[in-house]
């Protein structure tokens, strides 16, 4: 498969209250078309920064970010973002939110309506189409965001810990849904998570990140058979892979805890 | 769907029995009017200085029957509405443009800084010279007294629109115009409407001061004429009418606010 998204020796630093912070340091990563890549790491490992770079919300301090071999300049609608904090339009109903990208694509009213209903059904929110986001729970709002992003039909889906706020059962259902959508549409997905199980269930490849500054620690191909149902999830292969990934992040997490304790006592 | 994903319903309000604070409020008003009636009835204060509530009510009744009160309320209301509408039409687009485009902000901000501290009453001499003492002058006074406040409220509200929503809209394929119309404007609307409500009260004080200085009719003129005759009863009728009219205008503004923002229904209920 050809490379669709590519980060080439990307460094991103920004100044925060006078001091320079390096969020991502010299990171290179090629993402293939149709691939589901999970970026896994503790907080502060620059995974959200990478997503913002892919979406064109920010530009790298040095290095290049390419979509189909062309540098990303400005906000890139072909890389659709599923925001962690939903970013739904509070003045639009669920249906109007999902219809928004369809209108931007210039679809006719009747077609829009049908497609919006299709995506609302897909995320199991039928019956809530005329509700406003404030009337929904966090998990439901997250699903609206996913439906809205799918309706925009981007080439790449950028997902920033989208299921973090969901309860365990809804999350399982949503993961299955996402995998089904991914298989059917062949969409490329960059999925950020700090949950190892989620990364193993979803990822074709797992990019383990290290923090401060954000770098790639290791890229682990995921050999487990699909669908990764409960039988796979309780297999020794699954446990072995989880152990392997945990060994990579273990030191990182411990260090992170020590650092935040130090920061806490310094205040 | 899990239990916690049920639509959150607002807390039920106790039914049948009115709120305790409402009862206390009504009691306080009744006590005040009783005190007023006692003080004037026993002539502790001369009726020349403070007329009794019953005298005020009788005078008001006469004015209502003759239709003079409605004409005064209507005359003032039309002036407020016209001047206020004009101010909103000018100030809202300008406020949004100032928040979005730095160049517009750079051009207008010195003038706004200079105009903001001027009370509308200081415009009265010049507007009378230019426009006379007719309707136009009143409307212009209302306009001049309110547009800066509407503009500043719009500007602040626009600047506070969540930048994440603007990003999201662009990411979903929206152009600048669509973002302006469908994200920035509705995002700023609650703040704009709050500014409009504050300005509505200011508009009333503008029109009343203009009417007191030079007008043939309206609530301000009614009070000022009564003052010339030493008729404090009529002055009080005018004052009470102003209070009730502005309260009614406020209530209408609240209804309009809710109608314009159906998505707020959940929070307001």
Chain-centre distance of CA B19, in angstroms?
A: 27
Partner residue facing B172 (CB), from A57, A137, A148? A148
b or e along B31-64 (b: 16 or more beta carbons within 10 Å of the residue's beta carbon)?
A: eeeeebeeebeeeeeeeeebbbbebbeebbeebe
Task: Search chain B and give the residue with CA nearest A128.
Answer: B7
Helices (H), A79-222: 94-104, 109-122, 138-151, 168-185, 196-202
Residue B9 lies in a domain: no
- The tens digit of pLDDT for each residue in B55-104 reads 999 999 999 999 899 999 999 999 999 999 999 999 999 999 999 999 99
Per the domain annotation, does B174 fall within a domain?
yes
Band of pLDDT at residue A78, cut at 50, 70 and 90: very high
For residue A55, the chain B residues in CB contact (below 8 A) are: 171
Which residue of A lies nearest to B170 if distances are taken between CA atoms?
A75
CB atoms B165 and A57 under 8 Å: no
Nearest to A167 among B2, B170, B173 (CB): B2
Residue ranges per structural domain of chain A: 3-78+154-266
- Whether residue B200 lies inside any domain: the answer is yes
ipTM of the complex: 0.86
Phi and psi at residue A9, to the nearest 5°: 45, 55
Which residues of chain B lie closer than 8 angstroms to A140, CB-CB?
A: 5
Residue found by looking up tokens 């899990």 in the block: B2
Residue pLDDT, tens place only, B210-230:
999 988 889 999 999 998 988
pTM to 2 decimal places: 0.79
Hey, are the CB atoms on A132 and B5 less than 8 Å from each other?
no
B7-29: per-residue pLDDT in tens?
555 555 555 667 788 899 999 99
A198-207, A221-230, B10-19: least confidently modelled range: B10-19
pLDDT mean over A229-246: 90
CATH number at residue B161: 1.10.3720.10
Residues in chain A within 8 Å Cβ distance of B163: none
Q: Spell B201-225 as b/e; 16+ CB within 10 A means b.
A: ebbbbbbbbbbbbbbeebbbbbbbb
CB contact under 8 A, B7 and A100: no
Q: For residues A23 and A45, give the distance between their C-alpha atoms in angstroms, rounded to a whole number.
A: 7
HSE-up of residue B49 (Cα within 13 Å, Cβ side): 7
The average confidence (pLDDT) of chain A is 88
Within a domain: residue B1?
Answer: no
CB contact under 8 A, A170 and B5: yes
Contact criterion met (CB < 8 Å) for B172 and A80:
yes
In a domain, B120, yes or no: yes
User: In chain B, what percentage of residues exceed pLDDT 90?
Assistant: 71
For chain B, what is the mean pLDDT?
89
Q: Which residue in A157, A183, A160, A168 sits closest to A80, CA to CA?
A: A157
Segments forming the whole domain that contains residue B237? 59-263
Which of A59, A81, A96, A104 has the highest number of chain B CBs within 10 A, making it the mutation to test binding with B? A104
- Predicted confidence at residue B15, as pLDDT, reads 59
Give DSSP secondary structure letters for B175-222.
-HHHHIIIIIHHHHHHHHHHHHHHHHHHHHHHHHHHHHHS-SSSHHHH
What is the distance between the alpha carbons of residues B180 and A67, in angstroms, rounded to a whole number?
28
Query: pLDDT digits over A244-262, tens only?
Result: 999 888 877 777 777 767 7
Find the range with the poorest average confidence among A97-101, A164-168, A184-188. A164-168
Interchain CB distance below 8 Å, A135 and B8: yes
Q: Over the stretch B91-112, which tens digit does the pLDDT of each residue have?
A: 999 999 999 999 999 999 999 9
For residues A132-157, give the mean pLDDT.
91
Residue A162 has pLDDT above 90, yes or no: no
Spatial contact of B127 and B140, defined as CB atoms under 8 Å apart: yes
* Share above pLDDT 90 across residues of chain A, in percent, rounded to a whole number: 54
Q: Please name the residues in contact with B58: beta carbons below 8 A apart, sequence gap of 6 or more.
A: none
Establish, for the pair of chains A and B, how many residue pairs have beta carbons separated by less than 8 Å: 79
Number of domains in chain B: 1
Contact list, B183 vs chain A (CB under 8 Å): 89
Tokens 């309110």: give the residue: B146
Quick count: other Cβ atoms within 10 Å of Cβ B6? Answer: 10
B85 CB near a chain A CB, below 8 Å?
Answer: no
Q: Report the candidate in B187, B151, B145, B148 with the shortest Cα–Cα distance to residue B166.
A: B187
Classify residue B37: in a domain, yes or no: no
Using the predicted structure, report yes or no on whether residue B5 has a pLDDT greater than 50. no
For residue B3, being part of any structural domain is answered with: no
* Domain A3-78+154-266, CATH: 3.40.50.300
Residue A63 carries which DSSP code?
E
- Between CA B203 and CA B150 the distance in angstroms is 11
Q: What is the DSSP letter of A92?
A: S
* CA distance, residue A53 to nearest chain B CA (Å): 13
Cβ <8 Å between B263 and A92: yes
Residue B7 at interface with chain A, using a CB cutoff of 8 Å: yes
For helices B232-260 and B219-228, the axis angle rounded to 10 degrees is 170
A198: CB partners within 8 A, 6+ apart: A38, A163, A171, A175
């Amino acid at each position: 498969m050809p490379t669709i998204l590519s980060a080439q020796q990307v460094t991103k630093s920004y100044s925060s209250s006078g001091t320079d912070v390096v969020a991502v340091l010299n990171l290179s990563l090629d993402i293939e078309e149709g691939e589901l890549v999970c970026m896994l790491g503790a907080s502060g490992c620059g995974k959200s920064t990478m997503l913002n770079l892919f979406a064109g919300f920010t530009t790298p301090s040095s290095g290049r970010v390419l979509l189909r071999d062309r540098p990303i300049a400005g906000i890139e609608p072909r890389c659709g973002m599923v925001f962690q904090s939903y970013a739904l339009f509070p003045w639009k109903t669920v249906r109007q939110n999902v219809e928004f990208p369809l209108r931007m694509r210039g679809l006719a009213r009747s077609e829009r309506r049908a497609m919006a209903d299709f995506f609302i059904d897909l995320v199991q929110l039928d019956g809530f189409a005329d509700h406003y986001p404030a009337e929904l729970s966090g998990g439901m709002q997250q699903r609206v965001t996913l439906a809205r992003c799918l309706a925009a039909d981007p080439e790449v889906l950028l997902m920033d810990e989208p299921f973090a706020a969901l309860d365990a059962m809804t999350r399982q259902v949503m993961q299955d849904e996402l995998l089904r959508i991914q298989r059917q549409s062949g969409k490329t997905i960059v999925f950020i998570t700090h949950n190892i199980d989620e990364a193993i269930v979803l990822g074709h490849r797992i990019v383990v990140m290290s923090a401060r500054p954000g770098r790639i620690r290791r890229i682990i191909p995921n050999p487990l058979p699909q669908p990764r149902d409960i039988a796979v999830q309780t297999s020794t292969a699954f446990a072995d892979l989880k152990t392997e990934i945990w060994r990579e992040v273990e030191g990182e997490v411990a260090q992170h805890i020590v650092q935040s304790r130090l920061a806490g006592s310094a205040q | 769907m899990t239990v916690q994903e049920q639509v959150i319903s607002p807390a039920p309000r106790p039914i049948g029995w009115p709120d305790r604070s409402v009862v206390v409020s009504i009691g306080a008003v009744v006590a005040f009017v009783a005190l007023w009636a006692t003080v004037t009835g026993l002539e502790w204060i001369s009726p020349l200085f403070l007329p009794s509530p019953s005298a005020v009510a009788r005078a008001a009744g006469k004015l209502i029957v003759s239709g003079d009160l409605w004409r005064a309320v209507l005359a003032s209301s039309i002036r407020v509405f016209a001047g206020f509408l004009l101010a909103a039409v000018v100030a809202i687009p300008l406020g949004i443009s100032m928040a979005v485009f730095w160049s517009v902000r750079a051009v207008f901000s010195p003038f706004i800084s200079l105009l903001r501290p001027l009370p509308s009453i200081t415009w009265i001499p010049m507007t009378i010279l230019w426009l006379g003492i007719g309707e136009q002058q009143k409307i212009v006074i209302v306009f001049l007294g309110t547009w800066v406040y509407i503009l500043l409220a719009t500007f602040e509200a626009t600047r506070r629109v969540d930048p994440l929503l603007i990003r999201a809209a662009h990411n979903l394929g929206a152009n600048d115009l669509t973002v302006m119309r469908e994200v920035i404007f509705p995002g700023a609307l609650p703040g704009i409407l709050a500014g409009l409500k504050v300005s509505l009260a200011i508009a009333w004080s503008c029109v009343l001061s203009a009417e007191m200085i030079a007008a043939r009719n309206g609530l301000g003129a009614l009070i000022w004429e009564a003052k010339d005759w030493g008729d404090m009863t009529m002055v009080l009728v005018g004052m009470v009418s102003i209070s009730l009219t502005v309260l009614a205008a406020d209530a209408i503004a609240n209804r309009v606010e809710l109608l314009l923002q159906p998505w707020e229904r959940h929070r307001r209920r």
